[in-house]
Amino acid sequence: MDSITPQIASAQDILSRIFGYNSFRGDQEAVIDHVIDGGDALVLMPTGGGKSLCYQIPALCRSGLAIVVSPLIALMQDQVTALQQLGVKAAALNSTLPYGEILAIERGMRSGELDMVYVAPEKLLTDGFLNLLDQCDLSLFAIDEAHCVSQWGHDFRPEYLQLSLLKERFPWVPRIALTATADGPTRQDIKERLHLSDARAFVAGFDRPNIRYKIGLKAAPKKQLTDLLEREHAGQSGIVYCMSRNKVEEIAQSLSEKGFNALPYHAGLSKDIRAGNQDRFLKEDAVIMVATVAFGMGIDKPDVRFVIHLDLPKSLEAYYQETGRAGRDGLPAEAWMIYSMNDVARLYHMASQSDAPEAQKRIENRKLEALLGFCETTRCRRQVLLEYFDDNPIEPCGNCDTCLTPVESFDGTEAAQKALSTVYRTGQIFGSAHVIDVLLGAKTERIEKLGHDQLSTFGIGKEFIKQEWRSIFRQLVALGYLKVDMEGHGSFQLGEDCRPVLRGEKTVWFRRDPAKKTRASLRSHY
Binding mask 2-31 for ligand ADP (x = CB under 6 A): -------------------x--xx--x---
In the complex, least distance from residue 53 CB atom to ligand ADP, rounded to whole angstroms: 5
Which listed option, Zn ion, ligand ADP, none, makes contact with residue 403 (CB within 5 to 8 Å by class)? Zn ion
For ligand ADP, which stretch binds (CB under 6 A), given 42-50, 195-203, 382-390, 441-449? 42-50
Residue closer to ligand ADP (CB basis): 85 or 131: 85
**51 touches ligand ADP by CB under 6 A:** yes
Partner whose footprint covers residue 400, from Zn ion, ligand ADP, none (CB < 5 to 8 Å by kind): Zn ion
Could you say whether residue 45 binds ligand ADP (CB under 6 A)?
yes
Return the C-alpha torsion angle 434, 436, 437, 438, nearest 10. Answer: 90
Binds 382: which of Zn ion, ligand ADP, none (CB < 5-8 Å by kind): Zn ion
Residues that bind Zn ion (CB under 5 A): 380, 382, 397, 400, 403
Which one among 18, 36, 53, 415 touches ligand ADP, defined by CB under 6 A? Answer: 53
CB of 88 to ligand ADP, least distance (A): 13
Which of the ranges 46-54, 83-91, 152-160, 460-468 carries the binding residues for ligand ADP, by CB under 6 A?
Answer: 46-54
Q: Quick check: 167 and 82 in contact, CB under 8 A?
A: no
Closer by beta carbon to ligand ADP, 50 or else 216: 50
Interaction residues for ligand ADP, span 109-148 (CB under 6 A): none
CA–CA distance from 52 to each of 15, 84, 255, 261, 337 (Å)?
12, 15, 41, 37, 33
Phi, psi torsion values for 480, nearest 5 degrees: 90, 5
What is the DSSP code string of 113-173? --SEEEE-HHHHTSHHHHHHHHTS-EEEEEE-SGGGG-SSSSS--HHHHGGGHHHHH-TTS
Pairing between β-strand 116-119 and β-strand 90-93 as defined by DSSP bridges: parallel
Comparison of 311 and 322: residue with beta carbon closer to ligand ADP? 322
Contact partner, 24, from Zn ion, ligand ADP, none, Cβ < 5-8 Å per class: ligand ADP
Give me the half-sphere count of Cα atoms (radius 13 Å) on the Cβ side of residue 297.
9
User: Is the distance from CB of 42 to CB of 48 less than 8 angstroms?
Assistant: no
User: Which one of residues 6, 12, 52, 349 is an interface residue with ligand ADP (CB under 6 A)?
Assistant: 52
Residue 107 binds ligand ADP (CB under 6 A): no
Binding-site residue total for ligand ADP (CB under 6 A)?
Answer: 12
- CA dist., res. 66 & res. 235, Å (int): 48
Whole-angstrom distance, CA of residue 63 vs CA of residue 119: 19
Nearer to ligand ADP, 24 or 492 (CB): 24
The one-letter code for the residue type at 483 is K
Minimum Å gap between C-beta 387 and ligand ADP is 22
Contact 238, 251 (CB under 8 A): no
Q: Among ligand ADP, Zn ion, none, what binds residue 47 when CB lies within 5 to 8 Å by partner kind?
A: ligand ADP
- How far is the C-alpha of 429 from the C-alpha of 221, rounded, in Å? 29
Phi/psi of residue 42, each to 5°? -120, 115
Pick what 50 binds: ligand ADP, Zn ion, none; C-beta below 5 to 8 Å, kind-dependent: ligand ADP
Select from ligand ADP, Zn ion, none the partner in contact with residue 25, using the beta carbon and a kind-dependent cut-off of 5 to 8 Å.
Answer: ligand ADP
Q: Tell me: does residue 306 bind ligand ADP (CB under 6 A).
A: no
Nearest Cα residue to 326 out of 354, 348, 296, 347: 296
Q: Which residue from 49, 71, 327, 431 is in contact with ligand ADP, where contact means CB under 6 A?
A: 49
The smaller minimum CB distance to Zn ion, of residues 374 and 469, is found at 374
**What is the separation, in whole angstroms, between the first and last Cα of the chain?**
71
Residue 38's CB: how many other CB atoms inside 10 A? 13
φ, ψ of residue 212 to 5 degrees: the values are -95, 125
Q: Measured from the CB of residue 330, what is the shortest distance to Zn ion in angstroms? A: 18
Nearer to Zn ion, 396 or 495 (CB): 396
Residue 144 or 391 with smaller CB distance to Zn ion: 391
- The distance of closest approach from Cβ of residue 291 to ligand ADP in the complex, given in angstroms and rounded to an integer, is 22
* Binding status of residue 223 toward ligand ADP by CB under 6 A: no
Q: Where are the beta strands (DSSP E) in 7-114?
A: 41-44, 65-69, 90-93
Tell me whether residue 177 or residue 397 sits nearer to Zn ion (CB atom). Answer: 397
Angstrom distance (rounded) from CA 2 to CA 188: 41
Using an 8 Å Cβ cutoff, are 39 and 63 in contact?
no
Q: Does 330 bind ligand ADP (CB under 6 A)?
A: no
Q: Which stretch binds ligand ADP (CB under 6 A): 45-53, 149-157, 163-171, 309-317?
A: 45-53
Q: Give the Å distances, CA to CA, from 368 to 211, 354, 362, 515.
A: 23, 14, 10, 24
- Is 386 in contact with 319 (CB distance < 8 Å)? no
Q: Which residues bind ligand ADP (CB under 6 A)?
A: 21, 24-25, 28, 45, 47-53
